[in-house]
């Protein structure tokens, strides 16, 4: 996104122009905040996926252990 800067202070902008610049600066700030928010959410999503995979692996190992215990008890 294009960076907007405040106009030269020696030039007095009209109120409408100043409002437009302020609006553009606010839009850019919101854009930057959304980018940061999305990055944080992406990081959290990756952590949750790793955690879910770990839980799935541990659950699978528990099932294998259960099958072995049943097999040993029937032997």
Cα distances from 43 to residues 35, 36, 38, in angstroms, run 12, 11, 9
Q: What does the pLDDT read at residue 54?
A: 98
For residue 67, give its domain range: 17-74
- Say if CB 1 and CB 31 are below 8 A apart: yes
Considering the domain boundaries, does residue 54 fall inside one? yes
DSSP 11: S
Q: Each residue of 15-55: pLDDT tens digit?
A: 888 888 899 999 999 999 999 999 999 999 999 999 999 99
Residue 4 lies inside a defined structural domain of this protein: no
Counted domains in the chain: 1
């Amino acid at each position: 996104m294009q960076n907007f800067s405040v106009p030269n202070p020696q030039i007095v902008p009209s109120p409408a122009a100043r409002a437009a610049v302020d609006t553009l600066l606010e839009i850019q700030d919101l854009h930057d905040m959304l980018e940061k928010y999305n990055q944080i959410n992406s990081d959290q999503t990756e952590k949750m996926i790793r955690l879910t995979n770990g839980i799935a692996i541990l659950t699978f190992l528990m099932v294998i252990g259960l099958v072995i215990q049943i097999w040993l008890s029937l032997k």
